[in-house]
Structure 1
Amino acid sequence: MRTPLRFITRSCKTVGSWQQGAFLTPFPTQCRIRRTSSDVCKEEKSYVTTPIFYVNASPHLGHLYSALLADCMHRYKLLRGFNSRFATGTDEHGLKIQQAADAAGEDPLTFCTGVSQSFRRLFSSCSVSFTDYIRTTEERHRRAVEHFWCTLRDKGLIYKGSYEGWYSTPDESFLTSTQVADTVDTTGQAVKVSLESGHKVEWLKEENYMFRLSAFRTPLLDWLQKSPDAIQPERFRQDVLQWLQDDLPDLSVSRQRSRLQWGIPVPGDPDHTVYVWLDALVNYLTVVGYPDDHNQWWNVTRHIVGKDILKFHAIYWPAFLLGAGLPPPRRIHAHSHWTVSGTKMSKSLGNVVDPFACSRAFTADGLRYFLLRRGVPDSDCDYTDHKVAKLLNAELADSLGGLLNRCAAPALNPTQTYPPFCPPSFPSEWDGRAVPEDYRMLDAVQSLPTSVERHYESLHVHKALEDIASCVRQTNGFVQRHAPWKLNGKDSGDRRWLDAIVHVSLECLRIYGTLLQPVVPQVADKLLSRLGVGADERKWTDLDFLPSYRGKDCPFRGRTLGPDTGVLFNRLESPSGDKQKPKKIKKQIISRQTN
């Protein structure tokens, strides 16, 4: 005879499952979701930015990944009830742009407008929901840069001096002798290159304006000591601390106008052009109304940047801000790069992945899910078409889509409603059908919002999605374990147990759909709509899992499900079921090369 599961009445605080004479982790009557004032206070603010993308070439997968991380953070903050802003845009000044426009036979502004529009099209096609799009060729940005420059100049932090050293045109930066190395070019000629980027450098001597970066080594170290989470992940914070072990030379912040015309002239000196990185970094202030209205947003700023531009954002930019009397960003999230089949993307190798073709081949949500699921901020990530198809088939089509299809199908749910939950059936002291694995599943789903919140906040989206995928697998195991399709619908006990299984599964799906909104907004909307969850019932405060289990009213009990809108996510397979489809897709994805 099986030992009955313990039944706890509504007045009790916990319900535990029974295993070898001992209770498992209690399932609490009160929801574990940590609710803060941000859940109800609409004035709590969030401001997240991508880097503004350089328009010397078309957008690639790495650009999209930065934008998706920022979009996920923005959507998550909106879900929490924040007043959130999300800024992205294009960096359109500098020598590389001037040269690219000349090569294309266009004036610089026309060239910039065309490439900037391609970024907007990509973001639109992938549901990137920015609130602000900034171009550095805008008049509002020129005014902000001029004011910022004058503020630094008036504080004595900018002076005119002669600069001599190695200069990388592609990187638009001067380098010290320790930052360059000897090599030979394709013709066998001896050249020097940047150790960091590999780009060729040339010796240059010219009169420029200099920023007193050397004065900010100690203030920057103090900032990082007082704000240990200012740069994430930790490995990148350690990189910045390592850079700060050496003295910081003063930084050249202008270029001779005779060499660089495409940029903002230095205020009061038309013979010089503002250094493109000083110009570009100010965009984050331009968006929020600098110099007039930025204060209400600036103290909540989060930058999301690739690791290759970390030094500009974690050393130069905070130093500029401190010099101008402004605080550094609240947080800088750096992320690593994407490779293709283990190799760095390169036009010469012909392996540059076209994100436009990817979004068409795998759908916008499919591409979003793959990049955010497999992207790991502190290590490079690898892309192949087969990996995309395999992951999406397993987790979106089969696991999540299959679960919804089972529980919403007329075979198990002939009334097409959110069936009632009968407490005497789950658990029951007289006819216990639940097993310990079921209680572990309930506990996992109950604690899921807390873990997802932690991972979204730290921008470890891949960890949040792993937790969700794990719970989806557990829920599928729950349904498979109890095989409700084998129950006798005419037997009252079987009918109650069937309803309980479907009710619990639909509740799990509701939680998954709500939590997935920042990552796959279209799939999540389709899922929640099928469950009959209204647009005003999809907030973080609605993550009250399985209230009927705790003797509370469930607002969805008896509700008619939404119309059947078809398969949640179509499998990415050829009709024969082989693995040729991704190979066919690959030709389409690689066909459009970055210019």
Structure 2
Amino acid sequence: MKLTTLKLSLKNNFFITTPIFYVNSQPHIGHLYTAVLADAQARWKTLKNEHGSVILATGTDEHGYKIQKKAALEKTKCLDFCNKISAQFRDLFDRSNIKYTDYIRTTEERHKNAVNHFWNSLNSKGYIYKSTYSGWYSVNDECFLSNEDIEEKLDPNGNKIKVSKESGHLVEYTSESNYMFRLTEFKKKLKEYLSNNIIIPKIYQENLYNQIESLEDLSVSRESFRVFWGIPVPGDSSQIIYVWLDALVNYLTVAGYPDKNKMAQTWPADVHIIGKDILRFHAIYWPSFLMAADLPLPKKILCHGHWLMNHKKMSKSIGNVVDPFEFLKKYTQDGVRYFLLREGVPSSDCNLNIENFTKYINVELANTLGNLYQRCLPFNKDLAYPSYDEIKNELNKLDMNLLESLDGLKKSCDQHFEVFNFYLGIQEIMSALRIANTLVQEYKPWDLIKSQNESDLKKIKKMLFLVYESLRVTGILLQPVVPDLTNDLLERLNVEPSERFYTNANVNFKSNDPKSIKKKESVLFKRL
């Protein structure tokens, strides 16, 4: 039975991936943003409960010349160096509540076996041949570039140098005996593949067509006397498999490749989440490799921009590099997640501004959300969570506007979250919570509580229903963004775990008995 047939009959999992992060340096805020985006999407898919399992894969890319060079500078073994940096990435993701299903490392035996099998598949199908290759090579990007991909610039000393147009990294002309992949055979198929709206957002897709036109066959190995830290070409230890071919196969490794039965449950990937600097590798090289191996192609590729610090590129020389570990300590796990998803716009570069960071956390999480819950406690000594039946005859037009807004909120969030525009969904959620806060101001419960008038007490009960339903619905929808905070909120509202799914994010108009909230008066989210 063919793999594609197995896939159609058995695939029920949703498979989402980050790139595996290169361990040549410590993790930065851009790495964390990618992981948070992926985690939020995985949690959203879990809330919608439409798939058998949601699989989130992340990990580290640990081969290549840059690793070899870094380890030598630190006078340590390559694997020891990889172990140290990979542990930092894992620690960052654990501290950020990234619920990955698989943390893959390219130095694992299961991955080496998958790469060897994949190489042999490409080779047996005639897509790999040996040749002497000459061209411009970027050590930093670990790839060969065509003449169209480079430009001439002056270095700080005024000397002319060649650099990559895309990354700005120095390139050098080199000639060596390599194995080549017949990339040029896939130009037409690549265009057909990309025409199916594979790239999200679409703004990143246009430049790919220009790159496809100028494609040349791709060098997929390096001479081992130059690069020894990697996976040897099967049957030829004088060559090391190209680090990007090695790295991209990680997605197949996680899916169980080459076991067809395991693959059939998970592959193809539903979405790869990547930064714009590695789009070429995922949207051109990767689908070409898969086509050559006769494997199904990824359904979507979510590409996002870079993070700037006060609209400037982060650089150690400027001194504006953000340490994500320090940010987590200062702004909390949920605070950092919230800001990245609230401020991050996948279609453009994002700006990290400390003033905005603090404002979003204090104004929206602490005040708009947290204080809405807190301010109602003094007027609810009985810890009541009124039912719709108890207050339905008291509702006015403003009340109904809020309830209708809440009832349509999950559909709006779904439209935004499905295409990774979490910031738009968050804006709509905060808008609904601001309306609820305004109603509290208008009802003035601090005055009503002094009255023994039955109509005034009914107004308080109605206000509590409106506030708690606002918090419950928005709390469910915000779970992918701030999981710990919303768990605390929903616990306080006495919402069972089985009632925290997408289908539950509606106003409860059903006739039922009154419920109660839990007695917990501590601050839901502290201001910074």
In the alignment, which of 454, 461, 475 is matched to residue 422 of structure 2? 461
Matches within 5 A, 1:212-361: 212-225=182-195, 227-228=196-197, 230-244=198-212, 246-292=213-259, 293-361=262-330
* Alpha carbons of structure 1 residues 565 and 343: separation in structure 2 relative to 1, 3 Å: same
Distance 1:569 1:93 in 2: 42
Q: Does 1:522 align with 2:489?
A: no
Q: Does 1:198 align with 2:162?
A: no
Which residue in the other structure is 1:104 paired with?
74
Shift of 1:539: 1.6
Matches within 5 A, 1:163-174: 163-174=133-144
Q: Does 1:541 align with 2:503?
A: yes
Task: Tell whether the 8 Å contact from 1:526 to 1:565 is kept in structure 2 after alignment.
Answer: no
Shift of 1:561: 1.3
Q: Select the structure that is richer in helix.
A: 2
The residue identity in structure 2 corresponding to 1:558 is P
Matches within 5 A, 1:489-500: 489-500=451-462
Equivalenced residues, count: 514
The residue identity in structure 2 corresponding to 1:569 is F
Q: Does 1:374 align with 2:332?
A: no
Task: Tell whether the 8 Å contact from 1:217 to 1:247 is kept in structure 2 after alignment.
Answer: no
SS across alignment from 2:73: helix
Q: Using structure 2 for the length normalisation, give the TM-score.
A: 0.95
Which residue in the other structure is 1:26 paired with?
none
Structure with larger Rg = 1
Matches within 5 A, 1:54-93: 54-81=22-49, 82=51, 83-93=53-63
Distance 1:43 1:494 in 2: 57
SS across alignment from 2:296: coil
The residue identity in structure 2 corresponding to 1:560 is S
Q: Calculate percent identity across the aligned residue pairs.
A: 46
Which residue in the other structure is 2:4 paired with?
none
Which residue in the other structure is 1:507 paired with?
469
Distance 1:242 1:377 in 2: 22
Distance 2:515 2:269 in 1: 40
Shift of 1:190: 2.2
Distance 1:194 1:544 in 2: 51
Task: Tell whether the 8 Å contact from 1:399 to 1:472 is kept in structure 2 after alignment.
Answer: yes
Task: Tell whether the 8 Å contact from 1:258 to 1:271 is kept in structure 2 after alignment.
Answer: yes
- The superposition leaves residues 492-521 of structure 1 with CA deviations (integer Å, 9 ceiling, x where unpaired) of 222222211111210110001111111101
Task: Tell whether the 8 Å contact from 1:422 to 1:496 is kept in structure 2 after alignment.
Answer: no
In the alignment, which of 443, 446, 452 is matched to residue 413 of structure 2? 452
Task: Tell whether the 8 Å contact from 1:426 to 1:434 is kept in structure 2 after alignment.
Answer: no
- The superposition leaves residues 299-322 of structure 1 with CA deviations (integer Å, 9 ceiling, x where unpaired) of 353100000000100010011111
Residues 210-219 or 290-299, more deviating:
290-299
Distance 1:370 1:468 in 2: 15
Which residue in the other structure is 2:444 paired with?
483
Q: Using structure 1 for the length normalisation, give the TM-score.
A: 0.84
Which residue in the other structure is 1:9 paired with?
none
Q: Does 1:553 align with 2:511?
A: yes
SS across alignment from 1:200: coil
Task: Tell whether the 8 Å contact from 2:389 to 2:511 is kept in structure 1 after alignment.
Answer: no
Distance 1:97 1:553 in 2: 63
* Alpha carbons of structure 1 residues 480 and 426: separation in structure 2 relative to 1, 3 Å: farther
The residue identity in structure 1 corresponding to 2:25 is A
Shift of 1:122: 0.4
Shift of 1:474: 1.2
Which residue in the other structure is 1:8 paired with?
none
- The superposition leaves residues 221-252 of structure 1 with CA deviations (integer Å, 9 ceiling, x where unpaired) of 11123x22x110010122323433x2321111
SS across alignment from 1:294: helix
Distance 1:135 1:483 in 2: 57
Task: Tell whether the 8 Å contact from 2:59 to 2:105 is kept in structure 1 after alignment.
Answer: yes
Which residue in the other structure is 1:399 paired with?
368
Task: Tell whether the 8 Å contact from 2:232 to 2:240 is kept in structure 1 after alignment.
Answer: yes
Task: Tell whether the 8 Å contact from 1:421 to 1:499 is kept in structure 2 after alignment.
Answer: no
Which residue in the other structure is 2:518 paired with?
562
The residue identity in structure 1 corresponding to 2:439 is F
SS across alignment from 2:129: strand
Distance 1:231 1:169 in 2: 27
Distance 1:439 1:372 in 2: 30
Distance 1:546 1:196 in 2: 52
Distance 2:105 2:472 in 1: 40
The residue identity in structure 1 corresponding to 2:234 is P
Distance 1:414 1:522 in 2: 26
* Alpha carbons of structure 1 residues 106 and 178: separation in structure 2 relative to 1, 3 Å: same
Shift of 1:201: 1.0
Shift of 1:422: 4.7
In the alignment, which of 88, 92, 105 is matched to residue 135 of structure 1? 105
Task: Give structure 1 regions of 4+ aligned residues with deviation exceeding 4 angstroms.
Answer: 425-428
